[in-house]
Homo-oligomer: A and B are copies of this chain.
Amino acid sequence: MLTIAGHSFNSNLLTGTGKFASPALMAKAIAGSGSELVTLALKRIEQVQDKDMTLRHLRELGVRLLPNTSGAKTANEAILAAQLARDMLGTSWLKLEIHPDPRHLLPDPMETLLAAEQLVKDGFVVLPYCPADPTLCLRLQEAGCAAVMPLGSPIGSNQGLQTRDFLRIIVEQSQVPVIVDAGIGAPSHAAEAFEIGADGVLVNTAIATAADPVAMAHAFRLTCEAAAYSKQGKLAQPAAGAQASSPFTTFLEPS
């Protein structure tokens, strides 16, 4: 359903480990989501090495780990974080995140590209979180990134696909998978991302902060499963004016 760097996943839904009330709840929600690719922050890894819980849960679930470099403000910091993550977790998969601004957490396009170029050379499978900037996404693809992860709206804002018109261009141009990250705050947002042509979505906050994360994970699972059928079914284009579903409007006239 989703193939990244030659590796196939049954689910087009990526999830994260942040903001859950407990590691156990996180595990249940991720299991319920069907997600097979799960991102986690390096700082969180360090913590859990001791307590052994988040990581143990993820190992038990059998999901592929996607450590991220959240907290890095420069390319150099991100590269260092990536190396630490590879050493600690034994995976070269990496979600590259560089956001110097602590308020809006928006990714830095220049540092992200710089780091991506280096990390690809160093053998990482790089999935960069980035602005929904079609030119940048092409450059990241040329740099050898395994996918691009343009943002829908600011992280954790749950405000949906404010960048939809640029996502459309990114999808049209991209030869690597496009995974919409950040801002997907409801199943309708995920559905819209797939309708635009995205290959995957990453959802963390909307699941983790829901009143019932396991139920919400299941809602996203079904919505993301629906996307495959919707793609196969292929929607007709929206019409400018109304068209009757029931065009036989003459039933009372003499036949």
Contact = CB atoms under 8 A, between A and B. Distances in A.
Contacts of A157: 238-243
Contacts of A165: 153-154, 159, 162
A154 B233 contact: no
A255 B46 CA distance: 11
Given A246-B41, A251-B46, A104 B134 contact: yes
Nearest to A99: B135
A106 B238 contact: no
A229 B235 contact: no
Contacts of A169: 104, 106
Contact of A244 (B70, B158, B241): B70
Chain A: number of interface residues, binned into ranges: 35 or more
A187 B245 contact: no
Given A108-B135, A131-B131, A236-B158, A16 B222 contact: no
A96 interface: no
Contact of A246 (B68, B77, B135, B188): B68
Nearest to A239: B157
